[in-house]
């Protein structure tokens, strides 16, 4: 299963396969995606979900409020649907 991820505000799109993190998919397709640690610790990749569902093997450390606001850790997140992610405030 493959899902499409669209990034805002750049409108860049890439595909993510089941079992692949959103960040890995982006880097494999040479999409410049902010990142550093790739293990959910530095928050460099943090962005907000506008549409879609993600899942985690290990839930990242987000407060309920942050989760409600849609913050996701793409280096840890697996797509469960097509996604729209934003780096805008
Ligand atoms: S790259 Fe560090 S938290 Fe995602």
The string of pLDDT tens digits covering residues 57-73 is 988 889 999 999 999 99
pLDDT at 17: 96
- pLDDT bracket for residue 46 (50, 70, 90): very high
Task: Return the CATH superfamily for domain 2-86.
Answer: Beta-grasp domain (3.10.20.30)
Instruction: Determine phi and psi for 39, rounding to 5 degrees.
Output: -125, 15
| Rounded Cα distance, 17 and 41, in Å | 23
Q: Which of 22, 27, 43, 71 to mutate to test the pocket of ligand 1 (most atoms within 8 A of CB)?
A: 43
pLDDT at 59: 87
Q: What average pLDDT does this structure show over 11-31?
A: 97
- 37 close to ligand 1 (CB < 6 Angstrom): yes
Q: Which long-range contacts (CB under 8 A, 24 or more apart) does 62-68 make?
A: none
Which residues lie across from 20 on neighbouring strands?
none
Please report, in angstroms and rounded to a whole number, the separation of the first and last CA atoms in the chain. 31
């Amino acid at each position: 299963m493959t899902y499409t991820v669209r990034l805002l505000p750049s409108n860049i799109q890439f595909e993510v396969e089941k079992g692949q993190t959103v960040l890995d998919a982006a880097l494999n397709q040479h999409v410049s995606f902010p990142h550093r640690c790739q293990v959910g610790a530095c928050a460099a990749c943090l962005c907000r979900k506008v549409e879609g569902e993600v899942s985690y093997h290990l839930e990242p450390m987000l407060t309920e409020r942050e989760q409600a606001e849609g913050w996701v850790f793409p280096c840890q997140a697996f797509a469960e649907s097509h996604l729209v992610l934003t780096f805008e405030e």
